[in-house]
A and B are shown apart, each in its own frame.
Chain A
């Protein structure tokens, strides 16, 4: 087959050949893609599906484009679909249901009355993405959409720059779909995150430097090798995965919105996409509730988004991360400015908490809900406490806390603060002795 023909095959029917020339599918792919085309969020130009996240005209971010007149399901039809993030297909960047990573999403939303009392709010729920499949963090959502984009664009190697959870997710999804994976992480990641990547057989590379150094390298890697780096050249498809968390919260509450949602921030993509998801639910007419106030959480040792919001200028000043919360340690957040805007427009706010508070947050969540979260979840709980004390979360509020990763991934963060278990001989008297001394 001539290269001319293979170039045509992947072009979306929306596009004339002159449009296709501006991005152009990569050699070797895409075949029979059901990927939605991309629009530039800065200049509005339309581009065919491609492994590129940047507008060739103005360098702005590309976003999947959804025809406003596409058929949409009713809430009843949605409720009959399988319990995964794919039930919101009409709001995801595929025209037909993709075949990879079918079981991701639709994680539990659990009411947490004891935590609500501790926060001093009317009701509280945990959106428990520590149970997201297959790799136990919300990053499974973004990889579910990105890996299907990679497949449909004809890419056989995927990869990422990661603070840990994304590494786990890309390695796991790639392994079961038979794709090669190249994973780039900062050199000082937690042992659990390294093991939970390497076990899947991915090629993992530790880079001397911070996440931001890793990220810069991955931009060059994506350009140079043409791989599908999920959060670089597949970012337009990747980012849409996050917003399914908002859709699930609304549906699981019975098609209504809470008053407030608290979520952790690293690159700032999750909070930005939560705002988009809630907006879409409202635009679909599934609830008449006012949009929730969104609250962002960061660790004090790496809080460029919180600081930009608190300063008021909304401009991100990059920072060198120094925090236990390595999953949130992004000093130069790609969506920082959009995150500030999303929080502000929602009527919400943001808080940064120190490492001691984040460890306290992990323990408070564990002891009030039975949920063990990693450092990012500790930051979220501690930030919710701080926001409640500052009066941002109120006595009348219904609040959802987004818990985005599992605690077994970062045991070292809490281990030192826990009481050591007494060691005894297998004798009843020794247990009796323990009871009298405690």
Chain B
């Protein structure tokens, strides 16, 4: 599946752009594929055991992935993944 990531400013510079394409059957795979292509993102999207980074929130289209299956959520072609800092709001 081909999907689009929208990255926060603090990560965009590491990927060269705020919008990047990636491939994967699940969110986990897409995140892994992204970090292979942009090694400076390694450890900045995921935590020590490959889980979503504790200071980030991931949305698949408009849904917080914690309401779905987290990184195991299957992807469809054209999905939009928005990544934002968890240190915001309130």
Chain B contact-residue range equals 20 to 34
Is the Cβ of A231 less than 8 Å from the Cβ of B89? yes
Q: Mark B25-45, 1 if CB is under 8 A from A, else 0.
A: 000000000000000000010
What residues of chain A lie closer than 8 Å to B18, measured between beta carbons? 223
Q: Bound complex: CA of A213 vs CA of B59, how far in Å?
A: 10
Q: Mark B55-90, 1 if CB is under 8 A from A, else 0.
A: 111010010101100000000000000101111111
B-contacting residues of A (Cβ < 8 Å)? 42, 52-54, 56, 58-61, 161, 209, 211-213, 215-216, 218-220, 223, 231-232, 235, 266-269, 317-318, 330, 332-335
Q: Bound complex: CA of A269 vs CA of B88, how far in Å?
A: 10
Q: Bound complex: CA of A330 vs CA of B88, how far in Å?
A: 12
- Is the C-beta of B6 less than 8 angstroms from some C-beta in chain A? yes
Q: Bound complex: CA of A317 vs CA of B66, how far in Å?
A: 8
> In chain B, what residue has the closest Cβ to A272?
B90
> In chain A, what residue has the closest Cβ to B12?
A223
> In chain A, what residue has the closest Cβ to B82?
A216
Is the Cβ of A53 less than 8 Å from the Cβ of B87? yes
Is the Cβ of B44 less than 8 Å from the Cβ of A59? yes
Known: A212-B64, A219-B8, A332-B64. A232 touches B88 (CB 8 A): yes
Q: How far is the CB of B83 from chain A (nearest CB, A)?
A: 9
Q: How far is the CB of B69 from chain A (nearest CB, A)?
A: 14
Is the Cβ of A54 less than 8 Å from the Cβ of B82? no
What residues of chain A lie closer than 8 Å to B82, measured between beta carbons? 216, 220
Q: Bound complex: CA of A268 vs CA of B90, how far in Å?
A: 7
A contacts with B: majority SS: loop
Partner of B90, one of A56, A220, A267: A267
Q: Bound complex: CA of A253 vs CA of B53, how far in Å?
A: 43
> In chain B, what residue has the closest Cβ to A320?
B67
Known: A59-B53, A213-B62, A317-B66. A235 touches B87 (CB 8 A): yes
What residues of chain B lie closer than 8 Å to A218, measured between beta carbons? 88-89
Count CB-based A-B contacts (< 8 Å): 79
Q: Bound complex: CA of A42 vs CA of B53, how far in Å?
A: 13
Is the Cβ of B57 less than 8 Å from the Cβ of A216? yes
What residues of chain A lie closer than 8 Å to B90, measured between beta carbons? 231, 266-269, 330, 333-335
Q: How far is the CB of A191 from chain B (nearest CB, A)?
A: 23
Q: How far is the CB of B81 from chain A (nearest CB, A)?
A: 12
Is the Cβ of B88 less than 8 Å from the Cβ of A318? no
Q: Bound complex: CA of A305 vs CA of B59, how far in Å?
A: 21
Is the Cβ of A318 less than 8 Å from the Cβ of B9? no
Not counting A59-B87, A61-B87, A216-B84, a sample of 14 additional A-B residue pairs whose C-beta atoms are within 8 angstroms of each other reads A54-B87, A59-B85, A61-B55, A161-B88, A161-B89, A219-B84, A220-B8, A223-B12, A235-B87, A235-B88, A267-B90, A268-B90, A330-B89, A332-B57
What residues of chain A lie closer than 8 Å to B89, measured between beta carbons? 161, 211-212, 215, 218, 231-232, 267, 330, 334
Partner of A220, one of B44, B53, B66, B84: B84
Q: How far is the CB of B46 from chain A (nearest CB, A)?
A: 11
What residues of chain A lie closer than 8 Å to B6, measured between beta carbons? 220
Partner of A59, one of B10, B62, B64: B10
> In chain B, what residue has the closest Cβ to A316?
B66
Q: How far is the CB of B33 from chain A (nearest CB, A)?
A: 20
Q: Bound complex: CA of A42 vs CA of B55, how far in Å?
A: 10
> In chain A, what residue has the closest Cβ to B83?
A219
What residues of chain A lie closer than 8 Å to B9, measured between beta carbons? 223
Is the Cβ of B85 less than 8 Å from the Cβ of A53? yes
What residues of chain A lie closer than 8 Å to B62, measured between beta carbons? 209, 213
Contact sample, A vs B, 8 pairs, CB 8 Å cutoff = A54-B10, A219-B85, A219-B88, A266-B90, A268-B90, A318-B67, A330-B89, A332-B64
Q: Bound complex: CA of A333 vs CA of B64, how far in Å?
A: 13
What residues of chain B lie closer than 8 Å to A332, measured between beta carbons? 57, 64, 66
Q: How far is the CB of B75 from chain A (nearest CB, A)?
A: 19
Q: How far is the CB of A215 from chain B (nearest CB, A)?
A: 4
Q: Bound complex: CA of A161 vs CA of B89, how far in Å?
A: 7
What residues of chain A lie closer than 8 Å to B8, measured between beta carbons? 54, 219-220, 223
Partner of B66, one of A60, A219, A232, A318: A318
